[in-house]
Chain A
Amino acid sequence: MTPDIFLDYLNGVNWISITDHNTTRHIELYSKVLKQIDVKVIPGIEVTSKEEVHLLIYFENLDDAIKFGNIIENNLIIKDYNPEKLGYQIICNEDGTFSSIVENPYFGSACSLSINEIYLLSKKYNSLFIPAHIFRFNGLITNLGLPPEDIIIDAVEVKNKNEIEKAQKIGFNNFIFNTDAHFPEQLIPSCKILAKDRSFASFKESIIESRVIPIWQH
C-alpha cells in the first residue's frame, strides 16, 4: 500500500489513522502526502502484546507515536527473519519506490511486553488504548477471556451489531469501527465520527461520548 496507489482509494475519507503492525515508521511520510489533499492523520500503531493480543494505540503527536514505535520495535521477539518466507519489509518513498529494507526485527512478531506493560507505556503519552477486533483472532477476549484488571480501556473495536451486544455484556460502552485494511481496495470508510473538528482532543471526546457511527463492512 504505497502512497501513490493509496491516494486513489480514499473514497471521500477526510480523517484516517495509520496503525501499522508494531511499527510507526511510515506515518510521517503518509501524513505529509495526505496533508496535501486535506486528509487529517491520527498517528497510531497496532501492537501485538506478549499474549498475542492486538492493541490499537492512537496518539496526539507524531513524535510520541514514533518514540513509542521505537520501544515496541526494540521489544519484538523475532529479531532475524527470512524475507524469502515472510516477505520483504520495505520502507517506501512518496512516489512508491523503496528507500530501504528493514531486516530486523520482524514486524509480524509479538513483543515481549504484556498488555499491562503496553498500557502503562501508552499512558505516558496522550493516547487512546483500544483493543482491536476483541472477539476475533488475536483479540483481547478471544485470547484472554476477560479484560485484564487495572487497565482503563478507552474503547474496543468491534465488527458488527452482534459484537456490540456481546461487548456491552462484558461491560464495554465505547466502540470504534475500523476497516483493518491491509490492501488499498479494503480502504472503505468504516465510520462517521461526529466531532467539532479533526483534532485529537475532538477524536478522543467523540469516542468517549459514543459519537462514532459505524458504516458496517461485514
Chain B
Amino acid sequence: MTLKDILKHGFLESIYIFNDNIEIKNGYVGDLLSEIMRNSPSSSIWITHQTHPNIIAVASIVEANTIIIPIDFDFEIETIEKAKENNINLLKSKYDIFKTVGLIYNCLFGE
C-alpha cells in the first residue's frame, strides 16, 4: 500500500511529505529508540510520541520511511529540517496513539 492510500482516509495531517507514493509494507509502535533500532521492520510506518530530532536518524537506520505522532504532539523544528535532509515523511494524527494505530492497522491489514 502507498502512503497516498493511507492519507485518503483523512485522519492524518501532513507535516512534511517527500513522497506519498512510497510503499508502506508494515508498521511499528514505540517510544524507546534502541528498541526501534533493534526490531522495526523496513518500509514501515513508525508511530511514536517521540518528536526529538534523533527519531530521523533512527528512522533512516531502520528504513522506516514515515513517522506519525498523535494529536497534541508537535515535531521540533530541527526534526522537520532533518526529515527534509533524509527523505522521511512526517505526519500528525487527529487522534491519540491507540486509535491511530488501529486505523493504520486496518488500512494495512484489514479487509
Name which residue of chain A comes closest to B32, CB basis: A52
A182 at the interface (CB under 8 A from B): no
Q: Which residues of chain B from 32 to 56 have a CB within 8 Å of any chain A CB?
A: 32-35, 37-38, 52, 54
A195 at the interface (CB under 8 A from B): no
Residues of A within 8 A of B32 (CB): 51-52, 110
Q: How far is the CA of A165 from the CA of B11 in the complex (A)?
A: 41
Per a CB cutoff under 8 Å, which of A52, A78, A82, A86 touches B38?
A78
Q: Which residues of chain A from 76 to 96 have a CB within 8 Å of any chain B CB?
A: 77-78, 82, 85-86
> For chain A, which range describes its interface: under 10, 10 to 19, 20 to 34, or 35 or more residues?
10 to 19
**B61 and A52 contacting across the interface, CB-CB below 8 Å:** no
CB distance from A73 to the nearest CB of B (A): 14
Residues of B within 8 A of A77 (CB): 34-35, 38
Count of chain A to chain B residue pairs whose CB atoms are closer than 8 Å in the complex:
25
Against A, the Cβ 8 Å flags (1 = close, 0 = not) of B50-84 are 00101000001100000000000000000000000
Q: Which residues of chain B from 18 to 38 have a CB within 8 Å of any chain A CB?
A: 32-35, 37-38
Per a CB cutoff under 8 Å, which of B35, B54, B60, B61 touches A137?
B54
Residues of A within 8 A of B54 (CB): 137
**A86 and B61 contacting across the interface, CB-CB below 8 Å:** yes
Name which residue of chain B comes closest to A136, CB basis: B52
**B34 and A85 contacting across the interface, CB-CB below 8 Å:** no
> For chain B, which range describes its interface: under 10, 10 to 19, 20 to 34, or 35 or more residues?
10 to 19
A24 at the interface (CB under 8 A from B): no
Residues of B within 8 A of A86 (CB): 61
A48 at the interface (CB under 8 A from B): yes
Q: How far is the CA of A51 from the CA of B31 in the complex (A)?
A: 10
Q: Which residues of chain A from 105 to 164 have a CB within 8 Å of any chain B CB?
A: 108-110, 137
Query: Given A85-B61, A86-B61, are A48 and B52 also a contact pair (CB < 8 Å)?
Result: no
**A109 and B52 contacting across the interface, CB-CB below 8 Å:** no
Residues of A within 8 A of B38 (CB): 77-78, 109
Per a CB cutoff under 8 Å, which of A78, A82, A137 touches B34?
A78
Name which residue of chain B comes closest to A50, CB basis: B32
**A110 and B35 contacting across the interface, CB-CB below 8 Å:** yes
Residues of B within 8 A of A82 (CB): 61
CB distance from A23 to the nearest CB of B (A): 15
**B52 and A110 contacting across the interface, CB-CB below 8 Å:** no
- Give 14 pairs: A residue, B residue, CB < 8 Å, sorted on A: A48-B34, A52-B33, A52-B34, A77-B35, A77-B38, A78-B34, A78-B37, A78-B38, A85-B60, A109-B37, A110-B32, A110-B33, A110-B34, A137-B52
The 7 A-B pairs of least Cβ separation, nearest first, read A110-B34, A109-B34, A137-B52, A52-B32, A85-B61, A78-B38, A77-B34
Binding site for B on A (CB under 8 A): 48, 51-52, 77-78, 82, 85-86, 108-110, 137
